[in-house]
């Protein structure tokens, strides 16, 4: 029996509209379908900062259509293909401490002090760590936490 050879031509990137908040589950379902059917999809991307869209790299729009057919939360394919230049900023990780400044009020979203509010007293951009003082502590003790374990509640006064 002769095996069907896949076209090794240049692939294109297509944007697929999804239900907001369901991007990761859509990617997982498409990946399972592609693996099961050996569809000609090369890669999948669901940027955390872009809601309601995922990107699919494939040889043509037909392969994308086949991969998304019947997948819940998929709203359709955006007309045309996307250049790599348009999405490359999603591929470069941003430092976790971006946007934080000394004096900001933050809330811890992970770790042993989860839910506590604190003031930023020092930033280490290389290690992506911040040193904070818990606001509700009786004795202000500096605590160092990872930058991705906090979210800004209030910007500090300059």
pLDDT digits (tens, 9 = 90+) for 94-119: 766 777 889 999 999 888 889 999 99
The enclosing H or E element of 24 equals helix 23-37
What are the b/e assignments for 115-138, b being 16+ CB within 10 Å?
ebbbbbeebeeeeebbebebeeee
DSSP for residue 10: -
pLDDT digits (tens, 9 = 90+) for 54-108: 999 998 888 899 999 999 999 999 998 888 888 888 887 776 677 788 999 999 9
**pLDDT bucket at 5, cuts 50 / 70 / 90:** very low
Query: For residue 127, what pLDDT is reported?
Result: 87
Is 105-154 CATH 3.90.226.10? no
CA 53-59-61 angle, to 5 degrees, is 55
Residue 50 exposure: Cα atoms within 13 Å on the Cβ side: 16
pTM of the model: 0.60
Query: For residue 6, what pLDDT is reported?
Result: 47
**pLDDT bucket at 49, cuts 50 / 70 / 90:** confident
Query: For residue 136, what pLDDT is reported?
Result: 87
> What fold does the segment set 12-91 form as a domain?
Alpha-Beta Plaits (3.30.70)
What's the gap between Cα 131 and its chain centre? Answer: 25
**pLDDT bucket at 120, cuts 50 / 70 / 90:** very high
Domain spans in the chain, listed from the N-terminal domain onward: 12-91, 105-154
pLDDT digits (tens, 9 = 90+) for 13-32: 999 999 999 999 999 999 99
Determine the Cα–Cα distance for residues 72 and 129; give it in Å rounded to an integer. 39
């Amino acid at each position: 029996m002769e095996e069907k050879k896949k076209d090794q031509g240049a692939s294109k990137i297509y944007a697929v509209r999804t239900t907001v908040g369901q991007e990761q589950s859509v990617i997982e379902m498409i990946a399972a379908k592609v693996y099961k059917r050996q569809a000609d999809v090369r890669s999948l991307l669901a940027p955390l900062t872009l809601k309601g869209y995922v990107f699919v790299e494939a040889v043509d729009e037909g392969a994308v259509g086949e991969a998304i057919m019947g997948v819940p939360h998929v709203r359709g394919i955006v007309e045309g293909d996307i250049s790599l230049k348009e999405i490359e900023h999603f591929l470069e990780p941003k430092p976790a401490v971006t946007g934080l400044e000394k004096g900001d009020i933050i809330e811890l979203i992970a770790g042993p002090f989860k839910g506590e509010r604190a003031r930023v007293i020092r930033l280490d951009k290389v290690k992506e760590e911040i040193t904070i003082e818990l606001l509700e502590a009786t004795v202000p003790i500096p605590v160092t936490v990872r930058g991705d374990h906090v979210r800004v509640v209030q910007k500090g006064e300059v």
